[in-house]
């Protein structure tokens, strides 16, 4: 028997099948990288809004459906916690611009507060924002119907969990899958609450402790974290082109920021067709510049690198030797 949460996901997908026939539809939209935090926030906050009486709320993963297999840790963790992939709604499933133009759309943004160029049409539809990043000085959000929650915490799902705990703690205490989703997401975002990573805040620790109070038999932090790392690092079946969109964000000015699950040094070394790969990516994203950032996470250790322009490859790209000191931020151009 499906839990109320899992049943809700199926029902919300069904309700979004003919969105233009609705009087109103309220989407909860994650960021365009669709990492675990973004996906879980969209699913859980949409469920929470429905629980408190909001109508026609649909969680939307902000990627095309075809990109879901690239999000290895998202697929693995959702399935491990009973979320059926065929109950998910994707960005390309809904005519968002048409809904917005017909005044039928409300939008809550989770895990981001800066609209990409392709999403600027959503601005007047936004009714609430929940994010955990420093506020961008270029973004002015005020007088939203449901307000903003933008304190800095390690994981955006911490904000969602706090809202649930404040008014409907039974959503977590009586639903192990929801507790697991929150638990694993916070652990992944904070590198297992590592002091060395310096990501976890008191709010993140408080939510983790409350989850353990509700569910004393939760798996150990280290085992959940290591399982998620293994899933995130399982890129054996992904092509270089897929790696470029696995954790992709687009700046307000249209510059792709590519987060790689490996070091840039390894990506460059192991991709003999790098110029062709980057050229295809830039054409597809209508960009002339991109930024690559590499990262590997292991228990007790986080390694990052950024490319530094040293070597000319072809006529269009400056592909790099790699500096590991993080002092240089480089654009491929």
Same domain (yes/no): 269, 187: no
Work out how many domains the chain is built from and give that number: 2
Distance separating the N- and C-terminal Cα atoms of the chain: 54
Same domain (yes/no): 49, 173: yes
In degrees, to the nearest 5, what angle opens at C-alpha 62 toward C-alphas 61 and 68? 65
Does the pLDDT of residue 333 top 90, yes or no? no
| Residue written as token pair 């069904």 | 14
Stretch (H or E) spanning 148: strand 147-149
pLDDT for position 22:
85
| Residue written as token pair 């709604």 | 89
Please choose, from the candidates 219, 151, 223, the residue with its C-alpha nearest in 3D space to the C-alpha of residue 179.
Answer: 219
Q: Is residue 235 part of a domain?
A: no
pLDDT for position 300:
63
Q: Is residue 13 part of a domain?
A: yes
Please choose, from the candidates 326, 249, 317, the residue with its C-alpha nearest in 3D space to the C-alpha of residue 294.
Answer: 326
Question: How far apart are alpha carbons 157 and 36 in whole angstroms?
Answer: 10
Please choose, from the candidates 304, 299, 306, the residue with its C-alpha nearest in 3D space to the C-alpha of residue 322.
Answer: 306
Same domain (yes/no): 30, 61: yes
Cβ neighbours of residue 72 under 8 Å, at least 6 residues apart?
231, 232, 234, 235, 238, 246
Cα 316 versus chain centre, distance: 31
Same domain (yes/no): 29, 69: yes
Report helix angle 36-51 to 72-80, nearest 10: 40
Question: How far apart are alpha carbons 165 and 89 in whole angstroms?
Answer: 26
Q: Is residue 58 part of a domain?
A: yes
pLDDT (tens digit, 9 = 90+) per residue, 100-144?
A: 999 999 999 999 999 888 899 999 999 999 999 888 887 888 889
Residue 173 sits in a domain whose CATH number is: 3.90.1640.10
Q: Is residue 331 part of a domain?
A: no
Same domain (yes/no): 60, 200: yes
Q: Is residue 143 part of a domain?
A: yes
Same domain (yes/no): 15, 125: yes
Cβ neighbours of residue 253 under 8 Å, at least 6 residues apart?
117
Q: Give the range of the structural domain holding residue 314, as residue numbers without chain letter.
A: 240-323
Question: pLDDT grade, residue 196 (50/70/90)?
Answer: confident
pLDDT for position 299:
64
pLDDT (tens digit, 9 = 90+) per residue, 223-237?
A: 999 999 999 888 888
Question: How far apart are alpha carbons 40 and 186 in whole angstroms?
Answer: 10
In degrees, to the nearest 5, what angle opens at C-alpha 191 toward C-alphas 190 and 194? 90
Its pTM stands at 0.85
**Across all residues in the chain, what is the average pLDDT?**
88
Does the pLDDT of residue 318 top 80, yes or no? no
Q: Is residue 234 part of a domain?
A: no
Q: Is residue 330 part of a domain?
A: no
Structure tokens that stand for 51 in this block: 């629980």
pLDDT for position 332:
33
Question: How far apart are alpha carbons 205 and 184 in whole angstroms?
Answer: 13
pLDDT for position 315:
33
Does the pLDDT of residue 66 top 50, yes or no? yes
Does the pLDDT of residue 294 top 60, yes or no? yes
Contact by Cβ (8 Å): 6, 79: no
- Torsion, Cα 226 227 229 234, to 10 degrees, reads 140
Domain's final residue, options 226, 256, 287: 226
């Amino acid at each position: 028997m499906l839990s109320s949460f899992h049943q809700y996901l199926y029902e919300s997908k069904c309700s979004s099948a003919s969105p233009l026939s609705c009087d109103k539809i309220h989407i909860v939209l994650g960021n365009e990288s669709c990492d675990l935090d973004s996906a879980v926030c969209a699913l859980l906050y949409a469920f929470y809004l429905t629980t408190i009486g909001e109508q026609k709320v649909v969680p939307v993963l902000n990627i095309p459906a075809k990109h879901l297999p690239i999000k290895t840790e998202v697929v693995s963790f959702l399935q491990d916690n009973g979320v059926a992939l065929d109950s998910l709604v994707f960005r390309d499933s809904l005519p968002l611009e048409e809904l917005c133009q017909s005044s039928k759309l409300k939008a809550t943004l989770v895990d981001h507060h800066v609209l990409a160029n392709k999403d600027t049409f959503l601005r007047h539809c936004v009714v609430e924002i929940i994010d955990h990043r420093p506020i961008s000085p270029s973004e002015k959000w005020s007088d939203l119907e449901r307000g903003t929650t933008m304190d800095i915490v390690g994981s955006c799902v911490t904000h969602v969990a706090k809202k649930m705990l404040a008014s409907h703690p039974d959503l977590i205490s009586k639903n192990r899958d929801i507790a697991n989703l929150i638990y694993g997401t916070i652990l992944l975002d904070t590198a297992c609450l590592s002091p060395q990573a310096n990501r976890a805040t008191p709010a993140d620790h408080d939510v983790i402790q409350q989850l353990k109070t509700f569910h004393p038999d939760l798996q150990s932090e280290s085992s959940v974290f290591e399982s998620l790392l293994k899933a995130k690092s399982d890129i054996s079946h992904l092509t270089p082109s897929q790696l470029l969109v696995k954790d992709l964000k687009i700046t307000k000015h249209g510059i792709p920021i590519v987060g790689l699950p490996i070091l840039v040094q390894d990506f460059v070394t192991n991709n003999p067709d790098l110029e062709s790969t980057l050229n295809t990516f830039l054409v597809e994203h209508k960009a002339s510049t991109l930024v690559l950032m590499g990262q590997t996470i292991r228990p007790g250790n986080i390694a990052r690198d950024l490319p530094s322009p040293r070597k000319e490859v072809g006529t269009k790209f400056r592909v790099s030797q790699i500096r590991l000191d993080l002092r240089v931020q480089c654009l491929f151009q």
